[in-house]
Amino acid sequence: MGIQADAEPAPAPQLERRIDRLSAPLLVSWQLTRDCDLACLHCCTASAPGKRLTDELSADESMELAQALLGAQVPYVMLCGGEPLLVPHWLELAERLGMGGVQLKIETNGQRLDPRHLERLARLPIRSIQVSLDADTQETYGRQRPGGSLERAHAACRGVRDAGLPLEITFAPTRLNIHEAEAVIDRAVALGAFRFNSGSLMRIGTAARLWQKLEPSAEQYRQFRTLLERKAASPDTAGLELCYTPFSTTEALWESLREPPATLLVLPQGWVKAAGPLPHICADLRRHTLSQAWDRYRSAWRDPELMGAVRRAAELEALQEAANDWAPLSTFG
Amino acid sequence: MSNVNLKVQEAGVTDSIEERQTRETPASDKPAWETPKMEDVSREVMAQPYIRFT
């Protein structure tokens, strides 16, 4: 795929990097499936109905990986997708992890989260149920999330709070919905959310394919940043953390060069990405143990091939469009 | 598991973290491992738009 290694300055001494001091990742972001019941225009994983990969981890494999995460004392696991609730064993997986002491975040579009799920989740150490609210009117929500019901998403949010679980809202800004951002923030407050996540639209996946249609203008982004700062300082949002920095994946990639994230991004077939906005694969959990995968991840962040790719993707956002064209690092072996 | 070979070294592990440290850090040039701590997670999540904002 033409990724070339740059000449690289000497890496920082090993002990200065947090990932070299940790016996396991701080968190694992585990994409359970590419399948989704919606076909959102902004989706960074290009998930949609019927997009399930043919080689996604089975229920048995997923349970074994969960056991490995417990054994490694990974403190936090995010279950996401696609829509994780489409995976038949998602709740059993959450229970295996949660009952073993792992704290959990579940990311969902809220279309099929029902009280039976919430009753079981309420027994687990849940740090966050994150529901995507990309609009405050059905008209706009339906344009950005074709086939989606805003009322169902709102009902899911209310159900989360009624079950005593922590609610987190995420908002992906596009030219279609950015005018409703303030209403969504106000809605998040009214729903009792503890956090509102946003940032710039990621030029990855479906969003990259539709970039010309979706990318907010510079003026829209300027107004959006002003709104976020104003809302963050407002007493009206007391109790709601607004999280929007670093604002872009580009900013985050620059920071990663200094301090690589202590995070493993696990794809539905068990591959481990070196970085979200990049296509490089550094391990395969069907071939490597979790500790081997963690070692390989740490090695990847010393690899000149990856360092060069990170820098180029940080300098030119359009290169992040290849993030889902997965390919192993040369050292993948 | 059917035709796959998911290697899970830690599956069913009941040994202590100290035992695991011993197993995984035989080389003298490696530092003593730090066990990941939940209190370090929030900043980690927030620093990554790709995962905090999907």
Nearest residue of chain B to residue A202 (CA atoms)? B50
Q: Tell me the backbone φ, ψ of residue A84, rounded to 5 degrees.
A: -60, -25
pLDDT higher than 70, residue B31: no
Residues of chain A with pLDDT under 70: 1-15, 332-333
pLDDT in tens, A113-136: 999 999 999 999 999 999 999 999
Q: Both tokens of residue A29?
A: 């972001």
- Residue A14, pLDDT score: 52
**SS3 at position B34:** strand
Contact list in A for residue B11 (CB cut-off 8 A) is 64, 67-68, 71
Identify residues of B whose CB sits under 8 angstroms from chain A CBs: 1-2, 4-13, 17, 20-21, 24, 31, 33-38, 40-41, 44-54
User: Is A45 in contact with B54 (Cβ distance < 8 A)?
Assistant: yes
- Residue A72, pLDDT score: 96
Structure-token match 């940790």, residue found: A22
User: Is B54 in contact with A44 (Cβ distance < 8 A)?
Assistant: yes
Using CB atoms, which residue from B12, B36, B41 is nearest to A24? B36
Round to whole Å and give the CA distance between A319 and A308. Answer: 12
Nearest residue of chain A to residue B37 (CA atoms)? A75
| Mean pLDDT, residues B28-35 | 71
Which pLDDT band holds residue B54 (cuts at 50, 70, 90)? Answer: low
| Mean pLDDT, residues B23-50 | 76
- Which of A28, A45, A56, A73 to mutate to test binding with chain B, by most B CBs within 10 Å of its CB? A73
pLDDT in tens, A55-110: 999 999 999 999 999 999 999 999 999 999 999 999 999 999 999 999 999 999 99
Query: CB–CB of A38/A85 below 8 Å?
Result: no
- Residue A84, pLDDT score: 98
Alpha-carbon distance A105 to nearest alpha carbon in chain B (angstroms): 10
What are the CB-based long-range contacts (under 8 Å, 24+) for B29-35? Answer: B31/A14, B31/A15, B31/A20, B31/A21, B33/A21, B33/A22, B33/A23, B34/A21, B34/A22, B34/A23, B35/A22, B35/A23, B35/A24, B35/A73
| Mean pLDDT, residues B4-32 | 45
Q: Which domains does chain A have, with CATH numbers?
A: 14-332 (3.20.20.70)
Q: Regarding predicted confidence, which is higher, B51 or A271?
A: A271
A314 touches chain B (CB under 8 A): no
- Residue B33, pLDDT score: 87
Q: What is the average pLDDT value for chain B, to the nearest integer?
A: 61
